[in-house]
A and B are shown apart, each in its own frame.
Chain A
Amino acid sequence: MKFTLKNPAGQHYEAYAYTGGKAFDAAKPTLVFIHGVLNDHSVWILQSRYLAHHGFNVMAIDLPGHGRSGGDAPASVEEAAQFIEALLDAAGVQQAALVGHSWGSLIALETAARLKERITHLGLVGTAFPMKVSPALIEASLNEPMKALQMVNVFSRATLAAPPSALGPGTWVYGASMALGRRVLASNPKVNLFHRGFVACDSYTNGLAAIAAITCPVLFLLGESDQMTPPRAAKGLIDQAQASGKTLQVVQVPMGHHQMSESPEETLHALKSFLGL
C-alpha cells in the first residue's frame, strides 16, 4: 500500500508499506516495521504476515528512496524519524508500536523519543549505540559496494544451516540477503543507499538521550553471535533504559545479525511476548 507524503521542500512522494496480506486498517493497533541499511520491507515478511493475521495493522515500510518508496533517502536517523512521523500522520494512525532492525532500530528509537506517548511499544532488533561503522567499511560501501555487501553479510551470518525462512524451506539466507542488498542498491540510481545508510548509523549521537526520553516499554532483541551489532554494543542503551526506569525486556537469540531470517521463530516469539500476544 502506498501513502502520499510531502518532503521538506513541499513536494509530494509516495511511501510504500507492506501490510502483511491484510487490508490496512487504522482502527486496529498499528505496528510499524523499519528495516536496516540496504534492506526493505521483505526482511519482515514472516513477522508481518503473522502479526497482521493476529490483530495488528502492520506497516512494514520501505524507507524513502528505497525499493518501492519514492522520495529522498534519509541522510540521518533524525531525517528518517521525521519520515516515520509524517507517515503515521498521512496514514491517520494515532498510536503505533515501532520495531526496527539495525539502522531501523535507531530510527525507531529516535521516533519514539520524539513522539512520546504516541508510541506504544519500541522493539530494537540487532541494535547498538553508538552504531559505529568502521571507516574501511564506509569507504568500501561507497567505492566497492559489492565487496562491502559481502563483508556485511559475512559478518551478519551465524549459521550455514538456517531453519526454514522467508522463502520457506530451502532458503539460502546468505544468498537471499546478498541479492536483496544488490536489488535495493540498484533501486536508487541517484544516491548510494549503502553509504548513506552507514553514514547515518555512524553519525547518530542522540541514542542515550533518546532512550531516556521514551515513554513506552522497550524490547532489546539481540543476536548472541551478531558480529555487526554484538550484544555488548547495546549495553549502554540497556543500562540507560534501566537507569531511567523504563519497562524493558532483553532477549538474546542464538543467531547473528539476520535475526528475522536466521531465527524467525525465536524473533516472532519475542515480539509476541513483548506485544502481549
Chain B
Amino acid sequence: MPGYNDPSFDTLALHAGAAPDPATGARAVPIHLTTSFVFESSDHAASLFNLERAGHVYSRISNPTNAVLEQRVAALEGGIGAITTASGQAALHLTIATLMGAGSHIVASTALYGGSHNLLHYTMRRFGIETTFVQPNDIAAWRAAVRPNTKLFFGETVGNPGLDVLDIPTISTIAHEAGVPLLVDSTLTTPYLIKPFELGADLVYHSATKFLSGHGTVIGGIVVDGGSFDWEKSGKFPELTQSYEGFHNMVFSEESTVGAFLLRARREGLRDFGACLSPHSAWLILQGIETLSLRMDRHMANTEKVVQFLASHPMVSRVGHPLIERHPSHALAEKLLRFGARGAGSVFSFDIQGSREQGKAFIEALKIFSHLANVGDCRSLVIHPASTTHFRMSDAALAGAGIGPGTIRLSIGLEDADDLMDDLKRALKAAEKAGSKPSQA
C-alpha cells in the first residue's frame, strides 16, 4: 500500500491529523469529552509521565480531539506541531511564559490587537517583562529596540486594524541577528493567505475564535512551532537549553533538536497555567477549518467589492485596506501574501468624514452588520475601536496604531455582497443626515 503523496491545502484542511476512528469507524473526528485516560499498567503510567511513551494522561495537558486540531493547523502552517489553548490570548501568554521570565524584554509592533497590547504593556510588565513598541514598517526601529535581555520579536501578519503588512522576511532577519525568534499573530490571514514560516517567522499563533473557526461560536487559540529556531545556538534561552528541575531535569533542546519549545510549553505551561482548550471547542474549530479556503475566498471577494464601494463614496475619507494603491502596505501585500493585496484579509477600517456623532449614527443605522467585539465571523461585523477594543490606549498610542477617533472597523462576512453594500449605503446616508442636523438648528 503506497503512502500519501504530498497533499495540498484543502486535503490537509480535511484530513491532517484525523483518520476514521479505529474503535467505532466514525468518519468525523470524535469529541473526546473526558478528563483523563486509563493507564494500561503502572509501568505505562510512569512511562507516560516521564515522556518515555507518547499518549494522553489528562485533558489539561492533551486530548485526542485537540491533538487532531493541533496536527491539522501545524500541517497547514508547515510547522512541526502545535498546542491548543483556551483562547488566542492564552496562546500568546503561553508563548511568552515559556520563553522568558522576569527581567526579559520584547520588541513588538504597535499595530496589535488591543488585548495583545494590554497583555504586553500592562500585565506582563507587572511580572517583570518589558515591551518596546515600534512602528511595524520602521525597520530601523526594530533593530534599535534590541537590548541584551531581548527574548522575542512580535507582530501581526496584517496589523489590527490598519492592515499594516508585517515585513516578515526583513524583521525575522533582524530578530535572528539578535538571537531571538519572531512570533507572528496570523489570526487575520490564516494559513490560507500567508505562510509565515516560509517567510522567516519562527512561531505562529492564532486566535482560532476568528477565521479558523469562522462561525462566531467558540473561543480558542493555538500556537505552532516552525521548528526552525536554534535555541542552543542563540544562547539566550536557558529555559529550553538547560536542565529543568520542574520536569525530570529535562534539557528540552537535547530531547528534541527541533521541538524544545513545544515540549516545555506543554509540559510546563499547560500543566501549570492550565489555559487548555475544551475538546468540544476544538471540534467546533475543526468544523470551521474544513471549509477554510472556501470561506476565505468568499471573504476576499466580498471585501474587494466593499472596499471599492467605500473608496468611491463621498462620505468616506479613507479606506485602510492594502487593495487601495496608496495604502502604505500595498506593495508589501502584493509581495508577501498568497493572493496579493486581495489576500490582506477582510478586517479593515475606514474613516467617515464628519463628527464622532456621525460615526455613532452610522453604526446604529446598520441592519446586517452586527455591532460587536469580534472579527472573522461568517456574519459581517462592525465596531468603533477607539471606544471598545482599543479604549485603554491613549490618543498618541491610538495614532501609533493607525486608529483615529472616528475610525470604523469592519469584518466582512459571507453574505451577498450587494446586501452588504446596500446596508453600508443606507448607514452612510444616516451619518450624512446626522451631520446636517446641527446646521439646520
For window 39-75 of B, CB contacts with A under 8 Å fall at: 46-47, 50-56, 62-64, 66-68, 70-71, 74-75
Contact of B80 with A by CB under 8 A: yes
* Chain-A contact segment, one of B226-234, B295-303, B363-371: B226-234
Say whether, besides A42-B256, A154-B5, A171-B71, A179 and B47 are in contact (CB < 8 Å): no
Chain A residues in 8 Å Cβ range of B228: 179, 182-183
Residue from the set A67, A226, A268 with the largest chain B CB neighbour count within 10 Å: A268
Contact of A165 with B by CB under 8 A: yes
Chain B residues in 8 Å Cβ range of A41: 257
Number of interface residues of B (CB under 8 A): 56
Say whether, besides A155-B3, A160-B17, A170 and B74 are in contact (CB < 8 Å): yes
**A158 CB, nearest partner CB in chain B, Å:** 4
Residue from the set A50, A175, A180, A227 with the largest chain B CB neighbour count within 10 Å: A175
Q: Is the CB of B64 within 8 A of A172?
A: no
Q: Per DSSP, are chain A's interface residues mostly helix, strand or loop, or mixed?
A: mixed
**CA of A195 to CA of B245, assembled, Å:** 40
Contact of A189 with B by CB under 8 A: no
**CA of A150 to CA of B6, assembled, Å:** 9
A23-62 near B? 1/0 per residue, CB < 8 Å: 0000000000000000011100110011001000000000
Q: Is the CB of B62 within 8 A of A180?
A: no
Contact of B246 with A by CB under 8 A: no
Q: Is the CB of B50 within 8 A of A53?
A: yes
Say whether, besides A166-B256, A169-B67, A225 and B52 are in contact (CB < 8 Å): no
**Chain A, Cβ-Cβ closest to B6:** A154
Contact of A213 with B by CB under 8 A: no
Chain A residues in 8 Å Cβ range of B226: 179
Say whether, besides A45-B256, A160-B16, A175-B81, A168 and B266 are in contact (CB < 8 Å): yes
Q: Is the CB of B71 within 8 A of A161?
A: yes
Chain B residues in 8 Å Cβ range of A264: 53-54
**Chain B, Cβ-Cβ closest to A180:** B258
**CA of A227 to CA of B78, assembled, Å:** 22
A163-192 near B? 1/0 per residue, CB < 8 Å: 111111111101110111011100000000
Chain B residues in 8 Å Cβ range of A182: 228
The size bracket of the interface on A is 35 or more
**B264 CB, nearest partner CB in chain A, Å:** 11
Q: Which of B56, B248, B250, B257 contacts A180 (CB 8 A)?
A: B257
For window 147-164 of A, CB contacts with B under 8 Å fall at: 150, 154-164
Contact of A256 with B by CB under 8 A: yes
**CA of A276 to CA of B229, assembled, Å:** 40
Q: Is the CB of B71 within 8 A of A157?
A: no
**Chain B, Cβ-Cβ closest to A50:** B52
**CA of A264 to CA of B256, assembled, Å:** 15
**Chain B, Cβ-Cβ closest to A155:** B3
**Chain B, Cβ-Cβ closest to A20:** B52
Q: Is the CB of A176 within 8 A of B53?
A: no
Residue from the set A46, A154, A176, A183 with the largest chain B CB neighbour count within 10 Å: A176
Contact of B254 with A by CB under 8 A: yes
Chain A residues in 8 Å Cβ range of B51: 45-46, 49, 168
Q: Is the CB of B1 within 8 A of A225?
A: yes
B214-244 near A? 1/0 per residue, CB < 8 Å: 0000000000001110100000000000000
Chain B residues in 8 Å Cβ range of A227: 2-3
**CA of A255 to CA of B71, assembled, Å:** 18
**CA of A46 to CA of B19, assembled, Å:** 23
Contact of B166 with A by CB under 8 A: no
**CA of A174 to CA of B70, assembled, Å:** 13
B244-266 near A? 1/0 per residue, CB < 8 Å: 00001110001111110011001
Say whether, besides A169-B67, A227-B2, A42 and B75 are in contact (CB < 8 Å): no
Q: Is the CB of B12 within 8 A of A176?
A: no
Say whether, besides A160-B12, A175-B74, A167 and B4 are in contact (CB < 8 Å): no
Say whether, besides A42-B258, A176-B258, A225-B1, A166 and B54 are in contact (CB < 8 Å): yes
Q: Which of A42, A163, A179, A180 contacts B54 (CB 8 A)?
A: A163
Q: Is the CB of B257 within 8 A of A183?
A: yes
Q: Is the CB of B56 within 8 A of A169?
A: yes
Q: Which of B18, B55, B66, B230 contacts A170 (CB 8 A)?
A: B66
Q: Is the CB of A50 within 8 A of B47?
A: yes
**CA of A67 to CA of B230, assembled, Å:** 12
Sorted from nearest, which 9 A-B pairs have the closest CB atoms? A179-B227, A170-B70, A164-B54, A172-B74, A169-B67, A50-B52, A169-B62, A161-B19, A176-B80
**Chain A residues engaging chain B, CB cutoff 8 angstroms:** 18, 21, 40-42, 45-46, 49-50, 53, 67, 150, 154-172, 174-176, 178-180, 182-184, 224-227, 256, 264-265, 268
User: What are some 18 contacts across the A-B interface (CB < 8 A)?
Assistant: A18-B254, A21-B50, A45-B51, A45-B255, A45-B256, A46-B52, A46-B54, A50-B47, A158-B3, A158-B4, A164-B55, A164-B67, A168-B51, A168-B267, A175-B81, A176-B227, A264-B53, A264-B54
